[in-house]
Amino acid sequence: RISSTVTFITSEQATNLRSVTTDISTRDSMTKEGDVNDTKSDAEDPGDGQLAKESLFYPHVFITDDKFTWLPAKLTKPVGIEDNTATVELDIPGDWSKSTVDGETVDRNEIREVNLKDYPDYELPKQNIDRSGKLLAEEDMSDLPNLHEASVLYNLKDRHYRNLPYTRVGDITVAMNPFHWIDAIEKEREMKEKMEAGKGDLQDSFFNKPVDTFAPHVYETSAYAYHDLMTTEQNQSILVSGESGAGKTETVKIVLRHIATIENSISTAACPTEDTGDLEQPEIVSKILKVEPIFEAFGNAVTRHNNNSSRFGKFTSIYLDKKETKRCGFESVYAVTGSSFVTYLLEKTRVVSHGPGERSFHIFYHLLNAPEEFKASVWDGLKDTTQESFSYLGSTEINQIDDRSESQLWEAIQTSLAVIGVEGEKMISLMRALCIVLQLGNLTFSPDPQDAEGSVISSQDELLKLSHLMGIDPSVIENAITKRKVKAGFDWIETKVTAADSKDSCDALAKKIYAQLFAMLKENINESTAPADIDANINSSDHKYGCISMLDLFGFESFKVNRFEQLCINYANERIQHRYVVDNFLSVKDEYEREGIETFDVSDIENSAVLKLLEGRMGVFSILNDECIRPKGNAESFVYKLKTIYKDSYHLVVKNLDRPWEFSIKHFAATVKYDARNFVARNNDQLPKDVLECVCKCTNDIIHSRFETIASERAKQPTGIRRKMGAASATVCTKFRNKIIELMEFLLTSKIRYIRCIKPNENSSPHTTDHLVTMRQLGSAGLVKAVNIAREIYPNSLSHDKVWVRFRCLTRLNIDENLEVKEKVSILLNEQFKDQVSSSGCHNSFYRVGATKVFFKPGQLELIESRRATRKQKAATIINNRAKAYRKKKDFQTLKRGAILVQALARRNKEQTELKKKKDFILAIQCAIRLARARRTLQKKKEDRAATIIQNSQRSRIARKEYTRYKNAADMLLRAMKRKLNRDKFDAALAVVVERARMDERRKKLLSKLANIEKDDILKECEVLIQYLGDELFDERGHVYEVRAKLRKEQEKNAQLRAKNENLGANTGAQKIEKTQLVTQNKNLTRRLSSLNQSKNTLNASLRDLRLAESTRASEQRKSFALMQNEMSTRIDQLNADFDQSFQVQDGEVTRLKRKLELAEKKHKDSEASLKLEHQGIIDQYEEDLSNMLSALEECKSNHESEYSSMKESLMRQIEESEAALCAQQMKNTKNVPKTIDDVDPSVKCRYCGASSDNWKRNPNDQSMKMKVDSKNNDPRSSKVKLEEHRTDSQSSVGSENSVGGKRRSALYRRSSR
């Protein structure tokens, strides 16, 4: 982006911002003083001064040459301002003969006289020389110090010689065809460097680093296109242009392979295979790469420029589908899902004719070198044939393409055709169609012996072969080619045509068939590779896929004879040039004009007028279409109309020496002369109706279906008045123009990148450059003009608000917030760039402030962005340090509280251990006492038990019989009761298990809640205690269930015993004793159950207390965290406030000191001025008195010698008066100055000698005081005035002064004189 003005602060704003301007002016003055000092130091150093003088003379220049365009040379002497010629000596490099075509013909030390009128501004172009004296070779030609045609040429030449084929020109990549595959080691290194994206390290490759960190490569273009598609989701287009042989096809293949595999290369699934080390490719990617040989076989041919030259234009679109996956720092990547191809302007004339040393399309030669078995299966007449067997092919010595034989290429094309489904019978039909094309070329025509105006096919054998191939009767073919049906009124009349016209019809049919075969293959390729929901034959952006497109089109062409094809090719290049200018310059220019910034001139490369001449309403194409519709239209009429309509056009060059069918157009690259003799015929490009009807009868499936479609479309064409419109829309130029316009509309929706291919020489020899060939292509591509304009562009821009918001943190100036954003931004940027000085000598060339935006030169926005990042990093470091300090302090406090808690727990454990020991000792004493009592009770019970047993044994004998009788009944009852008891036990055990599971679940919930709280030692102990109490609780509950079961059992037994008591009287006593024991046991169990209930209640209460304590602690922790957070935010705000306050205080102190300094300087200047005025007054008075004295003395001496004594007294009196006046002026607080000695107060004494005025009055001729005046130059400032000491022999009051006082007074007088 470009501008030459900068918005500065106005005078009113400067008044409001006095502190800001003072700071800036002070720094500027310091900078100027530093510059002056540097200049003085340079002047004082003789070595630097000599270098400065030598730098004014720059001897390394370029001069023009008819053979080499530009030659390096040296000036033998400096060129004067008024000189029109210069003497130079050729300065040919040492590698000239190796790097230049015909370089041996140059005399290395030749002296030439150069006319400066032939150069712009009477100045020779300067070379770009480094310190060692070698020519500079930059990777980006925008960085060349001296940029012109010669520097661009030699920069490309040097890189080409060093096997560096790629060079940048801003955003354009220039590719020089190396004419050989670069050394494998260098290629591997380059691939490794450029394909870092393929190793999964996408962020370290082209995507997140500046462009100038990598060597130029076409991978840069494809990688940035893929990156922009991912980040902006905008379609991308890459335009590859250049002459035939410049390497466009190989460049497109390289870019296509890179784009097709870039997603797979960054995917984690991509891994090198064991055999080749290549990346595994998805099926669609492999298919896209395999169809390329089909286009090469059917669309490429051998020309005098290139052995594999594309003879058609191709627009390739790669469709990519978005995948939501995070890879290499991106939210999503794009995977290849398909492709489509659109072709332009196939060179059909190459089917029927080609120049010497050239060939027709490759596919014919591949077919003739196929295996004989396959040739025989296609057509019997194809067996044992060679290229000499067919007139269209002729003979040629070329039998290899890119070091591959025709047989190898045939196998490759078979594989590629099988990929798109052309195999089997379809393959045979395709090859037979090619044989039909070749056989049409073997037909020869001669005049009809019966009618001289007619013709016949003289080669009947070839006609029979063609008839066999097409499946049509020979007479039908002959009549269709040699005769015409013309409609006369309502009748059709059959007429004969000449042999030449018949040959033209035959050639037109061959070209039409081949064009239809090419179109059919293109459609099959699109159907095979395009996504299912896209019409691949139409350029459209109305789909869900991302798209990266590549245009491989002929470059600008200008030959000795330029025909209709060159006009179409150059029209397409004009369209592309216009798109390039609009995208890169006109849109920028319009934006600069809206922003109020001075713009650059694009008139040299803007070509709207040429496009209007070509495609306007009455342009070249429109006039040509009218001539094609008009009966008997011809080239002379077309050229006459064109020159008549555009006779005043600047871009249509009319010369008197041109022939009637010649005209010239001034294109953006060069002026091209066209030969229009075949324009009308080639623009029509329609088969005669008879020939079309004949071809529709062909038995070949491909030819029949394609020409039936053509016939049906022709039948639908309008008739009558609308016939002309339909005929005009069917012409070649109209179709091609519509295709180009459709292409341009598609490109409008995408971001365009450019690759310019250059052919360094015509001989296809590596490392050498032909200057004339290269310069012709540079002029055609407009690279030099593009570079000159690109250097003036400001590529980065931001709005005023964004600049102010993002970069206001960088300024230390106190900028008034009430100013407009634009003014604040201007002040801010002036401060940021004040230390930088460009080549123009001012810092404001690094940016421009527009009406709504700020525009930056390349690298300047990144510079202040880096400053902003550094500033933020420093602030973040301070905040991070404070946060770390706070966190460390918090951790210390936590550790401190933990240590206190551990100490408390340790003391508690110690006390608990001692308490447990005491309890154990007391329990042991109690157990001993209880044991003694229990022993005594046991002894008594044993005695009672023995007596009871004796009684029972006696009673048992009596009751045994009774017992035996009831035993069986009791056993039966017992079995029944056991079954019931077992069921009750099972129910009780089941209830225990269920209760245990329920408690486990509740315990787990409690533990999960406790797990969310930060655990410490107390929580861990509580958890262990809860675990233990829970287990104990479950155990006691199990015991309770068992006791309850036993109680139920005993109750049932009691009931049984009561029943038995009624029947068994003998066992009453024993049952009573047992009953008593059971009752006692029941009481004990009851008491134990009550104690267990109490413990349960106690545990529940402790659990509630624990929950309450934990909730209380959690709330306290949350409160403390909130307080800590508030405190932290408060401290951060306080730090920011202190930071801002310190800046304000510093700025205020600086302002106060500056004001104080200004006041001191002003006061000093005032005092200095007053002192100067006072000193000047004294000097003037002395001067006047002295001049009066000298004039009077001279007058008296010359005229009145007799009166010398009286004049001397008068002179002494005047001297005394002047001394008195001087003494009076120096007296303090003296306002009235005496005019004469008599007026002096007698009490006043001289401050120098101490003599009183009364003494002067009494002794006016006192010789003790003498005035010595040195008047060499009659200047009072140089006079030496001195008061001598009083003579020691004098007895007067003056002579009584001591010598010390006299010396002191003399010193005072001398100091006052100074």
pLDDT tens digits, 61-82? 999 998 898 999 988 887 776 6
pLDDT at 1299 (0 to 100): 41
The C-alpha atoms of residue 1057 and residue 907 are separated, in whole angstroms, by 60
pLDDT at 1071 (0 to 100): 64
Contact, 89 vs 152, CB < 8 A?
no
The C-alpha atoms of residue 422 and residue 429 are separated, in whole angstroms, by 9
pLDDT at 35 (0 to 100): 39
Beta-strand relationship, 313-323 and 333-344: antiparallel
Phi, psi for residue 89 in degrees, rounded to 5: -120, 130
Strand boundaries in 1147-1252, DSSP class E: none
Beta-strand relationship, 546-554 and 455-457: unpaired
Contact, 1234 vs 1223, CB < 8 A?
no
State the CB neighbour count (10 A cutoff) for residue 318: 28
The more confident residue out of 580 and 942 is 942
Evaluate if residue 515 carries a pLDDT over 90: yes
pLDDT at 280 (0 to 100): 57
Phi, psi for residue 1242 in degrees, rounded to 5: -60, -25
pLDDT tens digits, 1183-1207? 776 677 677 666 656 665 656 566 6
Amino acid type, 10: T
pLDDT at 1218 (0 to 100): 65
Q: 1066: pLDDT confidence band, cut at 50, 70 and 90?
A: low
Structure tokens at 352: 């029927």
The C-alpha atoms of residue 10 and residue 110 are separated, in whole angstroms, by 60
The C-alpha atoms of residue 113 and residue 630 are separated, in whole angstroms, by 59
pTM to 2 decimals?
0.60
Residue 321 bridge partners (DSSP): 335
Residue that is written with structure tokens 């009966």 in the block? 631
When pLDDT is averaged across residues 280-290 and rounded to a whole number, the result is 79
Contact, 1288 vs 1295, CB < 8 A?
yes
- In percent, the amount of the chain with pLDDT more than 90 equals 19
Evaluate if residue 6 carries a pLDDT over 50: no
The more confident residue out of 728 and 323 is 323
Q: 174: pLDDT confidence band, cut at 50, 70 and 90?
A: very high
Tell me the CA end-to-end span of the chain in Å, nearest whole number: 66
Evaluate if residue 511 carries a pLDDT over 90: yes
Instruction: Please give the helix or strand (H or E) that residue 967 lies within, else none.
Output: helix 860-1011
Classify residue 498 by burial, with Cβ atoms within 10 Å: 0-12, 13-18, 19+: middle
The C-alpha atoms of residue 1277 and residue 1179 are separated, in whole angstroms, by 7
pLDDT at 706 (0 to 100): 92
**Choice among 871-875, 1008-1012, 1277-1281 with the minimum mean pLDDT:** 1277-1281
Evaluate if residue 17 carries a pLDDT over 80: no
3-class DSSP state of 1197: helix
Residue among 52, 61, 57 at smallest CA distance from 79: 57
pLDDT tens digits, 31-40? 333 333 333 3
pLDDT tens digits, 1090-1142? 888 887 888 888 888 888 888 888 788 788 778 877 777 777 778 777 767 77
When pLDDT is averaged across residues 1058-1076 and rounded to a whole number, the result is 69
Residue 653 bridge partners (DSSP): 664
pLDDT at 1047 (0 to 100): 82
Residue that is written with structure tokens 């917030």 in the block? 817
Structure tokens at 311: 């003879």
3-class DSSP state of 1075: helix
pLDDT tens digits, 1019-1034? 677 777 777 777 777 7
Residue among 347, 322, 343 at smallest CA distance from 332: 322
pLDDT at 1241 (0 to 100): 55
The C-alpha atoms of residue 499 and residue 687 are separated, in whole angstroms, by 17
pLDDT at 1065 (0 to 100): 66
Structure tokens at 901: 């808690």
